[in-house]
Chains A and B, each alone.
Chain A
Amino acid sequence: MKLVFERSRKGAGTSYFPANDVEDRVLPEHLLRETPLRLPELSETQISRHYTKLASEVFGVNNGFYPLGSCTMKYNPRINEKIAALDGFRNIHPLQSDDTIQGALEVLSLAEKYFCEITGMDNMTFQPSAGAHGELTGVLLIKAYHHSRGDFGRTRIIVPDSAHGTNPATASMAGFTVVTIPSGKDGRVDIEALQAAAGDDVAGIMLTNPNTVGIFEKDILKITEIVHKAGGLAYYDGANLNAIMGIARPGDMNFDIVHLNLHKTFSTPHGGGGPGSGPVGCKEFLSRFLPGPVCVDEGGSYKTIMPAYSIGRVKSFYGNFLVVLRALAYVMTLGSDGIRTSCEQAVLNANYMKRRLEERFESAFAGHCMHEFVLTLAGLKKETGVSALDFAKALLDEKMHPPTMYFPLIVPEALMLEPTETESLQEMDRAVDVYMRLFELAHSDPEYFHTAPHTTSVKRPDEVLAAREPKLRYGFSE
């Protein structure tokens, strides 16, 4: 479809700026632009149609099945939006003094209390604006901790080979060298390899549990013990918390730091800018390093302070406050029993789909899974030439979002499914039927897959060209 700039016609626009009701402030001459802004000119009807068309091109969890593994694309309850739209939350400004935003600070304080309860942590910052940002914050806490003890020799961070790509990226970004340790045949951390990697140059480990193949690290206490004995800290990547929330806690697994993805586990909007939120919790001995300001409860009144040895701000003000508020609304709506039930349902749904799909498809790992599971299409590709990519493209024609592809990297031709707890039995059955039908079709008509999708407005983008010559802005003709 056309861009809004391509629809623009000189003189067609209408100005909707309200009359200026405050004093004019004229900027110094050297700060003024010399050419007018290139704003598109459209009538209100055209604008309305343009954005309605754009919205209709979007596929979200409100449109259909969206089992994107490791992303927890659960339904975003409307009540969260209703709460976030309340005037008292919407119309405040972060520069207001603490005494005029007591309600908002109570939200942060309460959110800290509940999320610490869920994760087994003692304190939390809500500044990080997404998961990877939370990771960086967490790893900077690890660095600050070692440096505070005068220990500057810990330059390595251990990351399993099944980890989310953000883990090694985060460790590098924070100035550490990444030590990758292999997974065993069962998809879990190889304890011997971990033992061999753990030494006095190790700052810590970054781990997801359940891991990215949807398997619980049953030796988790052993893993954290090995790292702690070597003098390192244990960082919990919260991407897969949906599989254990209300049942097991990273803090009880002896993790020292946790990040949460409120836009995954706690039902806030995901994608399209969200925005996300990646709070970081820690055990008490690390609280003095947290980014600030943090909120302190002084017996019913709240104030904000900077922790004594804070690593500093990682984002302006208090992070994406209205997202934290939505997540709090979610937690309070469910209550502790509801949180546990959601988790159980998420794990049950994943196991149901895994077992049904295994009638035709090959699982990367046998046995029960947690909240997600990985199929390998290596066999199908060998037999029919239909790859995981081809299969995913064909799913688009079925009006459902494909699963995560080619991740984790340790599984060839991987498709990773996470139905979440908010999908019904009927919806999952419908999806399984589609997968089964496509599996048969791959054998009878593989060519259909190489040209899929057939019904979407954009067919197969040239991924190679897009990666090599990305077009990042619109090229104005004049």
Chain B
Amino acid sequence: MNNGMMFTKTHEWVRKEGEGVVLAGLSAHAVTEMGDLVFINLPQVGTKVTAGETMADVESVKAVSDVYSPVSGVVAEVNESLADAPEKINEAPYASWIAKIESVEIPEGLMTEEEYEEYLKDI
């Protein structure tokens, strides 16, 4: 993975934070589609996550949606400040990381920002 942001088909972003360590959050497209977030269920530190499987869930005024882990690894830290203020994700999705994941294995199929932009045009 390069140092830029990578995206999943399920609209999560992931960014390299150190050796084998990444930050993950929700894309701007995801939060626009969901609308105002009112609640987030954060993962527990120490949880093993698998790429493509649920790691958290968010509730908007419309619905509850799963947040899928973009990589496999172990949750090293969660962004606790989001629990009281999930609206931060609406305001700044790329600054509002949800989980810091370590011992990371990067799956195939993640998209670069340009590829993700293209992908959004088709859906």
Give CA–CA (A102, B59) in the complex, Å: 49
- Closest Cβ neighbor of A467 among chain B residues: B38
Give CA–CA (A468, B90) in the complex, Å: 15
Q: How far does the Cβ of B79 sit from chain A's closest Cβ, in whole Å?
A: 18
Question: Which one of B33, B36, B65 lies within 8 Å of A464 (CB-CB)?
Answer: B36
Q: Would B38 and A468 count as touching, CB distance under 8 A? A: yes
Question: Which one of A405, A406, A409, A467 lies within 8 Å of B39 (CB-CB)?
Answer: A467
Give CA–CA (A463, B35) in the complex, Å: 11
Cβ contacts under 8 Å, A406 to chain B = 62-63
Cβ contacts under 8 Å, B63 to chain A = 165, 406-407, 409
Q: How far does the Cβ of B88 sit from chain A's closest Cβ, in whole Å?
A: 13
A385 within 8 A of B: no
Q: In residues 377-416 of chain A, which contact B (Cβ within 8 Å)?
A: 405-407, 409, 412
Q: Give the size range of A's interface with the partner.
A: 10 to 19
Q: How far does the Cβ of B109 sit from chain A's closest Cβ, in whole Å?
A: 16
Cβ contacts under 8 Å, A464 to chain B = 36, 38, 61, 87
Cβ contacts under 8 Å, B65 to chain A = 409
Asked if A412 meets B64 with Cβ closer than 8 Å, knowing A464-B38, A467-B38, A467-B39, the reply is: no
Complex interface bits, A203-221 against B, C-beta within 8 A gives 1, otherwise 0: 0000000000000000000
Give CA–CA (A468, B85) in the complex, Å: 10
Asked if A463 meets B36 with Cβ closer than 8 Å, knowing A165-B64, A406-B63, A409-B63, the reply is: yes
Q: How far does the Cβ of B28 sit from chain A's closest Cβ, in whole Å?
A: 16
Asked if A463 meets B64 with Cβ closer than 8 Å, knowing A412-B33, A468-B38, the reply is: no
Question: Which one of B33, B39, B61, B87 lies within 8 Å of A463 (CB-CB)?
Answer: B61
Cβ contacts under 8 Å, A468 to chain B = 38-39
Give CA–CA (A463, B87) in the complex, Å: 13
Counting chain B CB atoms within 10 Å of each CB, the highest count among A407, A463, A468 belongs to A468
- Closest Cβ neighbor of B65 among chain A residues: A409
Q: How far does the Cβ of A357 sit from chain B's closest Cβ, in whole Å?
A: 22
Cβ contacts under 8 Å, A165 to chain B = 63-64
Cβ contacts under 8 Å, B39 to chain A = 467-468
Cβ contacts under 8 Å, B62 to chain A = 405-406
Give CA–CA (A412, B65) in the complex, Å: 13
Give CA–CA (A464, B62) in the complex, Å: 10
Give CA–CA (A467, B61) in the complex, Å: 7
Q: How far does the Cβ of B27 sit from chain A's closest Cβ, in whole Å?
A: 15
Cβ contacts under 8 Å, A409 to chain B = 63, 65
Q: How far does the Cβ of A406 sit from chain B's closest Cβ, in whole Å?
A: 4
- Closest Cβ neighbor of A469 among chain B residues: B38
Cβ contacts under 8 Å, A467 to chain B = 38-39, 59, 61
- Closest Cβ neighbor of B38 among chain A residues: A467
Q: In residues 54-74 of chain B, which contact A (Cβ within 8 Å)?
A: 59, 61-65
Q: In residues 7-41 of chain B, which contact A (Cβ within 8 Å)?
A: 33, 36, 38-39
- Closest Cβ neighbor of A463 among chain B residues: B61
- Closest Cβ neighbor of B39 among chain A residues: A467
Q: How far does the Cβ of A469 sit from chain B's closest Cβ, in whole Å?
A: 10
Q: In residues 294-323 of chain A, which contact B (Cβ within 8 Å)?
A: none
Give CA–CA (A165, B36) in the complex, Å: 19
Q: How far does the Cβ of B106 sit from chain A's closest Cβ, in whole Å?
A: 23
Q: How far does the Cβ of B87 sit from chain A's closest Cβ, in whole Å?
A: 8
- Closest Cβ neighbor of B59 among chain A residues: A467
Cβ contacts under 8 Å, A412 to chain B = 33
- Sample of 10 further A-B pairs with CB below 8 A, known A407-B63, A467-B38, A467-B61: A165-B63, A165-B64, A409-B63, A409-B65, A412-B33, A463-B61, A464-B87, A467-B39, A467-B59, A468-B38
21 sampled A-B residue pairs with Cβ under 8 A: A165-B63, A165-B64, A405-B62, A406-B62, A406-B63, A407-B63, A409-B63, A409-B65, A412-B33, A463-B36, A463-B61, A464-B36, A464-B38, A464-B61, A464-B87, A467-B38, A467-B39, A467-B59, A467-B61, A468-B38, A468-B39
* Interface residues in chain A, defined as those with a beta carbon under 8 Å from any beta carbon in chain B: 165, 405-407, 409, 412, 463-464, 467-468
Which A-B residue pairs are the 3 nearest by beta carbons? A467-B38, A463-B61, A406-B62
